[in-house]
Amino acid sequence: MLSLLIIPACFGGGLLLQRFGSMAGLARLLTKIVIYVSLPALVLEKIPLLQLNEQQLLPILMPWLIFALAWLGFSALGRKLGWERKTKGGIILSCGFGNTSFVGIPVMNALWGAAGVEVAILADQPGSFACLSTLGIVAASWYAGDTISPQSLVKRLLRFPPFLAFVAAFAMNALNVAPQGIILQILHWVGLLVVPFSLLAVGLQLEVKALLRPQKEILVGLAYKLLLAPLLIFILYLFILQQRSFMAIGSVMEAGMGPMVTASLIAEQFGLNPPMVRQTLSLGILLSFLTLALWYGLLMWVV
């Protein structure tokens, strides 16, 4: 539960630092450290060690499904409602991925202990992070400009360190090669910076007043992320596929996590309506603690 306290601590620290003047430069620096250094280190530490079975595919596939539906749904809805291209991209990135690690791990640990942490890691590494490093970057690149050729998309992917780390990590997994010794320790400690640096970067740019009057696009996006997405996984896994295992139950909880910090930072990095993305992230994390309690109660009642 101690890790949950990092959320208000980093947000609050960022707000406090704003009193000393503009912190845009520091926020950009922290964002670059996360995306170009810490996130690749985290991927290289975790993914080579994964060992999978059929039941574990449930939490792994969940983030891919939620993001695919977010991309299709918000693309069509945004076109109908007249959203700008970068606004659509910002909602797709910020509401298509859940905070399966930073909020997910401590919440799942508090509810179910080590078994819950296992579900969170599966949903996070080969699930959310793998999807973000591939489809997420493709979506961000696409919505960042009016005309982007397949060649330019490939070039962006090949210049994006988390994607390169993802490819290398899965190659290491396939070859049964994993970091060890001092290299593993370095990757671990550098990867730990993802959470505090990401949240602090958001806090440095957060506008508290804006949280009290969120845009309609934000409300629509969070309705999908916090309510509709976990409902779809709930119906699909527990009733259509008739899966009542702990992996299925945990997948529903992970599907209901608030917006993913790293996905929101990447949306900002690609210029996808950064102010809206920051508001979506902040409000979504706060509201998720209420909606997660509702999902937990429903799951315990059904199962």
Range of the domain at 293: 2-302
- Domains in the chain, number: 1
CATH code for position 78: 1.20.1530
Whether 147 has a pLDDT exceeding 70, the answer reads no
Name the residue with higher pLDDT: 228 or 215: 228
Summarised one tens digit per residue, pLDDT across range 106-143 is: 778 778 876 787 788 789 878 898 888 888 988 998 89
Q: What's the token pair of residue 172?
A: 């290491």
pLDDT at 2: 57
- Read off the pTM: 0.79
Whether 81 has a pLDDT exceeding 90, the answer reads yes
What count of Cα atoms within 13 Å lies in the side-chain half-sphere of residue 298?
Answer: 17
Whether 261 has a pLDDT exceeding 90, the answer reads no
